[in-house]
Amino acid sequence: MLLWTGAVVLVLVARPLAAVPLLWPFRFSAAEQALISWVGLKGAVPVILATFPLMSGLPDGRLIFDVVFFVVLVSATLQGWTLPLFASRLGLQEEEAPRPPVSLELRALRDVKADIVEFPVDARSPLVGRDVQDLGLPEGAVIVMIAREGSMVVPHGATDIRPGDHLFVIARDDARPAVDRVITASVSPASSRSGCEAEL
């Protein structure tokens, strides 16, 4: 009974009372504070810390270790599987980045100091509706392919960018920062050094 009481008090009372005041100065939202309070501290760290009073020979060392171990076990097994649902209810679950519908292999650029970068475009991106020629890519960078709805589009200057597109850009090392400034304000790139076989 003592173990269950300790677990309930820690999960529902002690942890939120400790987490919320510590997180408040950092301007976490109420939803983020609730999620962190629910997630708590799990794993080996609290168990290892609980061994110190046991190894020191304190009279209640065994009880402290048993309580901590049980609370960690309850928290990991009962709370752990609820995290995706809890995060979704709080509006904190992000959608998984879309996977490109095609693969692009590089075999002929082994001696070129360049990157191939993949940019997924979602519906909220300011790139949507713009033509390739209007992106203002720097010299040394070019969009070599657009993956769209499972097919390949060879881009031209008047090719428009649509939601769900995957832009594949080859950029020299010295042009890469400018490419990031032009495109990555709204999308996250996934890159691979050229000269090797890369599946994007």
pLDDT digits (tens, 9 = 90+) for 120-164: 888 888 888 999 988 888 888 889 889 888 888 989 889 999 998
- Indicate whether 16 and 85 sit together in one domain: yes
Q: Cβ contacts of residue 199 below 8 Å, gap of 6+? A: 103, 104, 105
Is residue 19 assigned to a domain?
A: yes
Decide: 33 and 20 in contact? Cβ < 8 Å: yes
Alpha-carbon distance 167 to 146, whole Å? 5
| Residue 66 domain boundaries | 2-89
Task: Write the DSSP string, 89-139.
Answer: HTT-PPPPPPPPSS-----S-TTS-EEEEEEE--TT-TTTT-BGGGS-PPT
Neighbours of 4 (CB within 10 A): 11
- Indicate whether 132 and 174 sit together in one domain: yes
pTM strictly above 0.75: no
Going by C-alpha positions, the residue among 122, 111, 110, 119 that lies closest to residue 145 is: 119
- Indicate whether 9 and 77 sit together in one domain: yes
Alpha-carbon distance 8 to 13, whole Å? 8
Q: Which residue has the tokens 């890519």?
A: 137
Chain segment 152-197, per-residue pLDDT in tens: 898 988 999 999 898 888 888 888 888 888 776 544 444 444 443 3
**Which of 89, 124, 146 is the C-terminal boundary of a domain?**
89
